Structure 1
């Protein structure tokens, strides 16, 4: 009669193989491209090649250099009530990024303006200060804050999934260029998530020690259209 350990070994090996595959897939960022580029085919008359990332790609022979150039971040966008302007650049507005596993953003902060605490569930971010002086930082999973003032020419990295924030502490406007290792990093803004998502008032009252009136005030301060953009 075979020993129990030997009998179970194939099952253990199979389990470890599945576990390893799971770790690899969950720790990766966007899938690696299997071609040079994939400009989404939005014209029914174009010659179709193959589908990747749920997009039909244009025939490379029909692609022009202009499709790899984006001019939409030459100037700031509209500012929110927190003094932030954020222009997100992803494959939706810049098709040349499609399947390349990256996206970016231009963010401008008025004097005293803030980029409220938020996080990106699918991307690590590198923030480069184009001009100005910005108090910038993130909080790790032990609630330790890593923050300092960064100035023109300096960069800071925000690890994937960690809450981070920025505030213009200079005497003039600040401009930041952020780059993500995902074409769809996602953004969860903490004030919006807490007070603008429909979480039960009683739960918020118990969690934060706020009155229902204070919760209502916080809800009224959340203005979603003016807070769009990944930063």
Structure 2
């Protein structure tokens, strides 16, 4: 029922890119150089119908983690035919009581809830939060580069599909940026005002050091 809507969302997010395509397609060849404009093209004589189909979003993502949240990707690295198309998709699975941690992408995101009940929201550059409870069939849009989140507030697992206006939208999760690297604890304490003990606890949870 919802997949025609999802396809329409993807086409909407890519509309500004359509007039920039000079060739019919440029299926990515990951063995060739990769630059800011994308991957180099696969030899057209080796392109097949299978290059233009992808089944990676059929299966629920692994949610066995601290957030009870998992993502399956259909970005250019997983679906090479997206190269140069200006679009991509992900599937997010959120267990009961789970949440998509605060994160941001380089481009806009348009999401549809296909199962469950969530709170979806973002925070703008004036630190004003925008959030709402979303049911099956509801849409939510997040402007480019703004921190956003999802929380499962229902009694069943939730599934959300999101379309992006880029074949590689990027993602930066605040928790991982702070606690899954070797940034010194002393610096994190200064810029967050968190207690050192709490910082070390979070570093241990996310795999950070130093």
Q: Please list, as runs of the form range in 1=range in 2, the aligned pairs for 1:1-231 lying within 5 A after superposition.
A: 32-41=20-29, 53-59=38-44, 62-79=46-63, 80-120=65-105, 122-222=106-206
**CA distance in structure 1 between the partners assigned to 2:38 and 2:190 by the alignment:** 43
- Quote how far apart the aligned CAs of 1:171 are: 0.5
TM-score w.r.t. length of structure 1? 0.74
Q: 2:8 — aligned with what?
A: none
**CA distance in structure 1 between the partners assigned to 2:190 and 2:30 by the alignment:** 50
- Quote how far apart the aligned CAs of 1:179 are: 0.6
SS at match of 2:102: strand
**CA distance in structure 1 between the partners assigned to 2:56 and 2:102 by the alignment:** 25
Tell me: CA distance 1:42–1:174, structure 2 relative to 1, closer, same or farther (3 Å).
closer
- Quote how far apart the aligned CAs of 1:42 are: 6.8
- Quote how far apart the aligned CAs of 1:101 are: 1.0
**CA distance in structure 1 between the partners assigned to 2:119 and 2:108 by the alignment:** 19
Tell me: CA distance 1:188–1:215, structure 2 relative to 1, closer, same or farther (3 Å).
same
- Quote how far apart the aligned CAs of 1:211 are: 2.8
Q: 2:12 — aligned with what?
A: none
Q: 8 Å contact 1:39–1:96 — kept in the other structure?
A: yes
**CA distance in structure 2 between the partners assigned to 1:183 and 1:83 by the alignment:** 26
Q: 8 Å contact 2:29–2:39 — kept in the other structure?
A: no
Tell me: CA distance 1:43–1:144, structure 2 relative to 1, closer, same or farther (3 Å).
closer
Equivalent residue pairs, number? 188
Tell me: CA distance 1:41–1:198, structure 2 relative to 1, closer, same or farther (3 Å).
closer
Q: 8 Å contact 2:179–2:207 — kept in the other structure?
A: no
- Most deviating of 64-73 and 146-155: 64-73
**CA distance in structure 1 between the partners assigned to 2:186 and 2:39 by the alignment:** 41
Structure 1 stretches (4+) deviating beyond 6 angstroms?
A: 28-31
TM-score w.r.t. length of structure 2? 0.81
SS at match of 1:57: coil
Tell me: CA distance 1:31–1:89, structure 2 relative to 1, closer, same or farther (3 Å).
farther
Where do 5+ consecutive residues of structure 2 fail to align?
Answer: 1-15
Q: 1:49 — aligned with what?
A: none
- Quote how far apart the aligned CAs of 1:85 are: 1.4
